[in-house]
Amino acid sequence: MINFNKPYFSGKELEYIQQAIANGHISGNGDFTQRCHRYFEEKYGFSKVLLTTSCTDALEMAAMLLDIKPGDEVIIPSFTFVSTALAFVRQGAEIVFADSRSDHPGIDEDKIEQLITPKTKAIVVVHYSGVSCDMDKIMNLSKKHNLMVVEDAACAINSFYKEKPLGSIGHLGCFSFHETKNIQCGEGGMLAINDSQFVKRAEIIWEKGTNRAEFFRGEVNKYGWVDIGSSFLLSEIQAAFLFAQLENNDKIQKRRIEIWNKYYEALKPFDGKFFRLPVIPDFASNNAHSFYLIMNSQNERDTFIKEMKINNAQAVFHYQSLHKSQFYISRYNGCDLPFSDKYSDCLVRLPFYFEMKEKAVIEKVKYYFSSLEI
C-alpha cells in the first residue's frame, strides 16, 4: 500500500536528541529550543516565536492573548480543522463561520465584512494547504473595524503572500509540526508574535502563567504566578528533533515542489473533466504541503478513494464543514456555506511524502480517470 503520508527523517534526529540528553536539559526552553527560535527569526524575519507542543496549543495561546471572552464573536472559516475553532470556543467565544472561495478552499475574503458586528473581536484565517489567503484584504478589514487577525498557518511554513512569510502578517501566527507537515517533530507547533504588545504576556502564558522566562534571563531574581497560562512548551527532545528537520528545510521543500509539479503536469489533461486541479492565486506561493483534486460530486470522490485503495494507494478526504459538525450544528444559526460543503464532500488528497514514488501513484490515478473516458 502506498500510504497517504510517511514522516521524513533527516538522519540527524537521534544524534541531536542525544545531545539534548547530554546537555542535561530535556524540558522546554533549552539550547535546541533557542536554536529553533533563532532559525525561524533569522530565516523568515519573525520578530518573536515560541515553540509549542502543537498548533492547537499555539491557537489556544492566541485566544488567551487576545483576551477572548464569553459573548465575543470570532470569524473563522468553516472548512478547517477543529482546533482553529476549538481554541476560541474554550474561551467562550461565539464562532461566526465563513464560507470558502469558489476557486480555492481558503476563506472568501469578500464575504467577511458582512459577518462583522459590534461583538466581533477577531478574524482567524487558514492558509489552506499552505496557500495564502488575500492578506491585504484581511488586514484592511482589521484596520477598518479594529479587529485582531490570527493566521492559522498550520500547514504554511515556508510559504508566502506577496513575498511576506505566512504567519508573519496577522497579529499572531500559528504553525504545526505534526508528522503530516512539511517540517515535523511528531507533535509540535509554534506561535509567531508579530504585534509587540503581546510579547511579554505570550512568554508568561507559555510558561504556565509564570514569569520564569524573565527569571532565566536574569531579569528578575525570583519567579512566580502572575497570569493565566498553561504548559505550552515543547520539550528539548522534540526541539532537538525539529532542529534536525530545519537543517534540511530547503532540501525537503525542493523535493515536495518536485512531487507537486509532477502530479500537476501529469493530471492536467483531465482538469475540468472529472476534477479541478488546485489553484494557486497570483499573490500566493506554493509550499507543496499537499496535492488535492476537487471532484464533481461526493459520490465520485468516494468511489475514487475506494478504487485507489483497491489499487493499493491511500487517497484521503479532508476537513468537514465545522458548522455542520455534531458539536456545533445545534448552535449554528448562520446561512448556508455552499463552498465549504463542496470542499468537504468533493476534495481528495493524493499520497504525498518526501520518499514517495510519485510515478506509481500518477499511473494509478491516470489509469482510473482514463478508464472513465472510455
Ligand X SMILES: Cc1ncc(COP(=O)(O)O)c(C=O)c1O
Count of residues binding ligand X (CB under 6 A)?
14
Q: How many residues does the chain have?
A: 374
83 three-class SS = helix
User: Which residue, 89 or 365, is less far from ligand X as judged by CB?
Assistant: 89
Site for ligand X in 304-363 (CB under 6 A): none
> Residue 99, interface with ligand X (CB under 6 A)?
no
Residues in CB range of 365: below 8 A, 6 or more apart: 266, 267, 308, 350
Spell out the residues 6+ positions from residue 282 whose beta carbon is closer than 8 angstroms to its own.
Answer: none
Cell for 71? 459573548
Instruction: Please provide residue 284's backbone torsions phi and psi, each rounded to the nearest 5 degrees.
Output: -110, 150
Please identify which residue in 61, 126, 192, 240 interacts with ligand X, judged by CB under 6 A: 126
State the Cα–Cα distance between residues 348 and 298, nearest whole angstrom: 10
Could you say whether residue 178 binds ligand X (CB under 6 A)? yes
Binding mask 154-173 toward ligand X (x if CB under 6 A, else -) reads xx------------------
268, 277 Cβ separation under 8 angstroms: yes
- Beta carbon of residue 179, minimum distance to ligand X (angstroms, whole number): 9
As measured in angstroms, the least distance from the Cβ of 85 to ligand X is: 10
Closer of 81 and 232 to ligand X (Cβ): 81
Q: 86 vs 277, which CB is nearer to ligand X?
A: 86
Contact between 74 and ligand X by CB under 6 A: the answer reads no
Q: What residues from 18 to 47 belong to the interface with ligand X (CB under 6 A)? A: none
What is the distance between the alpha carbons of residues 372 and 251, in angstroms, rounded to a whole number?
37
Chain Cα centroid distance, residue 368:
31
CA distance 250 to 44: 13
- The residue from 17, 36, 50, 55 that contacts ligand X (CB under 6 A) is 55
With CB under 6 A as the contact rule, the residue among 46, 81, 291, 292 that binds ligand X is 81
Q: How far is CA 243 from CA 25, 64, 213, in A?
A: 16, 28, 21
Residues in 133-152 at the binding interface with ligand X, rule: CB under 6 A? 152
CB-nearer residue toward ligand X: 315 or 365 = 315
Q: Which run of H or of E encompasses 237? A: helix 236-246
Contacting residue, 5, 10, 29, 84, with ligand X by CB under 6 A: 84
Residues binding ligand X (CB under 6 A): 54-56, 80-81, 83-84, 126, 152, 154-155, 176, 178, 189
